[in-house]
Chain A
Amino acid sequence: MKRIVTALGIAATITLGAHGAPKNITSGAPDAKSGVVRAIAFDTAYTAIAGATLANPALSPLRHTVSNTDIAAGYRRVHYDTAPSSASGHGTGYGFFEASTYILTGNAAITGHAEYHNGKVYDVQASETTDASILYPYFTADEIGGDMSREVYSFGGSYASGFGAGWLYGASIDYTAVQDWRQVDPRPKNSVGRLNLAGAFGRKFGSYSLALGLDALKYSQSNSIKFVSELGAGKVYHLTGLGTDYKRFAGTGLSSNYSGWRYGADISLYPATEGVFGMASYHRFTFDKQLNDLNRLPVNRAAHTDWTVQAGWRTDNIIVSLTWGRSRRTGFDNIFGDPVGQVYPEIASIASYFMRSWHTGLSGLWRSQGTRHRLDLGGHIDFSHRLDCYISAPVDRRMRADAISYGIEATWVWQCAGEWLLSLKGAADMVSPAKCSLTGLAGADGYFTDMLRADYAYLTHSRALYTARAGIDRLLPHGRTIGLRLSGVLPVCAGDSNGNGFEASAVFSF
């Protein structure tokens, strides 16, 4: 027992207290406070392995075996010396208030969550648009950038239950609003709304539950950039991928607007106790970017499709999953004729940006669980391929970035000295680049082309992320716990440290 503890050495973890106990607890067990039972049974690491399958709202009763509610408040910060991507900045730092609840009553499950973040994104260089990972490559950007203040409001909930002879149904709604702004020139102000709606319907077959789910996302973002300084306004560009920009509208279009829709369906199978599980899903996401000053002219639009398949097998203390997925995105430049007044007639819509990617991965977890402790040991290995191209005669730029990523993580939760609950977690994730290439930049210079070279350089380095977390909780009557969490993050790039991060929070659970 001790050897395992010392072997881990650095491990400490966040545990979201668990509630309830496995089947037949003998009444003679010493002082079984429900707080301990909940902390042990509410195993998010185990559920995460089958995360893709359990995302289906009708299967939410199978995610956990106990109810749990957390209310946490604290501060979270990570800072990278070299930015993983120039469009998303050098890390974030924000205070947060988060509440999340998972309630099992009978065969129904009700979840709810509410979050408020208030803080900063550090030194974003190549984009003044929020959600760079969703709206690439069509950012509005300038050649200055800087820190961005950020407020995030999000809340949501889901309800799943069954009726009749084994029929299942479930529905969920989630809304996230983000507000970014900067108080020094150039001053963007972005307001983002992401609304997710999902519904599912299924049937129980013996211990297996099979469910068919449909989901939809409405995405909207409006941003406007203001220059106040007397010393001159920077020039605003509308990027079109791989360091290129829409020259005709460079310098104009200070306020733009993104709106998009994402539809998808999935079919998921999950066993109540042990057996095979799996899912297959297809999603299609389209969005366009409009320039408000030119009568909301749609200058760019993109179409994105995702295939994801997961197959796995689980028992009470082992879970293994195999996933693979394919994504394709095609971006279009809308070409306009000669304007008359404010009217720009559209004459063509040319596909010029292409993203082709797929990934395949194997992940597993072994856990040993007693009445007063739980130990999780997990690992994963993935292979991913991604190709980005911008092709518009005479320009033909292509960037390929394949990588193998692998990692292990260990979580230990145990009740010690009667009224206390300790949790330790350690995780190490390594990424080592495979075949990478960047072509078509011969003789090209410019701020955004340099940013592309910097992003490519980061992708060609091997990098890692080491995480260590420690948590201590005081057990209170009626199954409540109150505790502190402290965690440290160490990002590594090409061998040496690439920044730091920590998190400190107080958590009240019941």
Chain B
Amino acid sequence: MKYIRLLILLFTLPLLSCSDDVPAASSVDIKIVVELPEQFSGHAAESSTFHITNLSTGNTIDITRNGSYAATVSVSPGLYTIRYDGTATLDGAPEVAIHASVSSVTISAPTTVSLPAYATVETDDLIISEIFFTGTLQTSGNSYNGDQYFKLYNNTDHVIYADGLVIFESLFLTTEKFNYEPNIINSAVSVDALYAIPGSGKNYPVAPGESLLIADIAIDHRTINPNSLDLSHADFEWYDVSTSPMYTDIDNPAVPNLDKWYCYTQTIWQLHDRGFKAYGLARIPEGKDAFMAAHYYTVDYENITVAGAFPMTKRGYWLPNDMVVDVVNLSIESNYQWNVTDPSLDSGYTYCGTINNDKTRYFHSVRRKFLAKDGDRIVLADTNNSGDDFNPFVVPSEIELQKSVTDISGATASTVTIDGITPAEQ
């Protein structure tokens, strides 16, 4: 009998000893301050919201502090991107939009984070309204990218002449960041391809609300790939002379060619079909020869690989930021590391597909968002933030217009839209 009491005691002993001591989450208090540029130093803050995104966990904390340029918040330690969007006024002048952002900030102890602010500069020139860089798929599932194109749009209310406008591609990838020496990002864009629209100055007018179609090969691609497009009606095409039978480019004599200033490749210039580069427009007053002679430069960096760090070099041209009219950064969510242009030119990125080698990206493009209608002229969004200005992963305009194939299963486009989302009234 004496055993029973012993058993009961032993049985209940553990109930007492255990408590669930789960520690509270560790957190750090930080202060965020927006530093205004000189021309707005006097302005008083109106509305102001702070977006604090933890890059590791993907959680975003949004706090609004109307009327103040600073905020304090407590967050768990980690790597953060902080953005500030607000408006400011100066004794009765119209409201001015203020943006500030800082990316990849390490927060592990209480600190003060300062956000350099900049005002969005309104450029009075053509802007990129669409980039179709993914190409299409052939019936066999192999990719076909002869049918890439740009669309440039006159977002102003007056005629603009496209003559001499230069299309460029960034030298660096948005998915690969190194310590580049010299680091000229806040003064110039490093480019590895420059193609200029010909003309003496008044040859190619673009009316307000009109767009220009610039294609890689301006032919009816459907003879080669039935799933592709007819781009023979393009306004311009870029053509590369090549003598090796393996890589030939086709020139449609009916379509004027862009004036090829420079391209890094020996054969044919193709847009990066997974979208890891930035494309933009620029006005270069000094002309081709002067620019080409003066702006060639070599950048050194250390490619740190598993095999150890290998000093590497890249060669390209530096394009001063003030010559840049518009630029669009392309990347993908799973591999994005940095913008290859200064935040004042473009502080976001747009994409087709969310992971590397995403096979659903084909037949899609990025198109600039519809903002408003000025009479019957359509105004597109241009806040120098490709993330906010562009609709990602939408059906290209040419595919909609030509009702051609929109995916590998052969389905064709049915509706026509202004920007891939908002339908266009007939």
> A residues near B, CB below 8 A?
229-233, 235, 244, 246-252, 295, 311, 313, 322, 324, 326, 333, 335-343, 347-348, 350-352, 354, 356, 358, 360, 362, 385, 387, 389, 391-396, 398
Contact = CB atoms under 8 A, between A and B. Distances in A.
A340 B179 contact: yes
A358 B302 CA distance: 52
B334 A385 contact: no
B354 A251 contact: yes
B408 interface: yes
A387 B20 CA distance: 8
B29 to A, nearest CB: 12
Interface of B: 3, 7, 10-11, 13-15, 18, 20-27, 55-59, 61, 74-79, 104, 106, 108, 137, 141, 176-179, 302-306, 333-335, 337, 354-360, 408
A35 B20 CA distance: 52
A339 B359 contact: no
Contacts of B75: 393
Q: By DSSP majority rule, is chain A's interface helix, strand, loop, or mixed?
A: strand
Given A233-B357, A337-B104, A350-B78, A362 B11 contact: yes
28 contacts: A246-B56, A246-B57, A247-B58, A247-B59, A248-B79, A295-B306, A311-B10, A322-B10, A326-B18, A339-B177, A340-B177, A341-B176, A342-B304, A347-B78, A347-B106, A347-B108, A348-B78, A354-B22, A354-B23, A356-B18, A356-B20, A356-B22, A358-B14, A360-B11, A362-B11, A391-B22, A392-B25, A394-B59
B424 to A, nearest CB: 29
Nearest to A296: B306
Contacts of A338: 79, 104, 106, 177, 337
Q: By DSSP majority rule, is chain B's interface helix, strand, loop, or mixed?
A: loop
A385 B18 CA distance: 10
Contacts of B76: 350, 392-393
9 closest residue pairs by CB, A with B: A247-B58, A251-B334, A251-B355, A341-B304, A230-B141, A338-B104, A232-B360, A348-B77, A232-B359
B22 A389 contact: yes
Given A340-B304, A341-B302, A248 B178 contact: no
A295 B306 CA distance: 7
B22 A335 contact: no
Given A230-B137, A337-B106, 13 more contacts: A246-B57, A249-B334, A251-B334, A333-B56, A337-B104, A338-B177, A341-B303, A347-B77, A347-B106, A348-B77, A354-B23, A362-B11, A393-B76
Contacts of B15: 360
A340 B178 CA distance: 5
A316 to B, nearest CB: 18
A396 B303 CA distance: 40
A230 B303 CA distance: 32
A5 B160 CA distance: 100
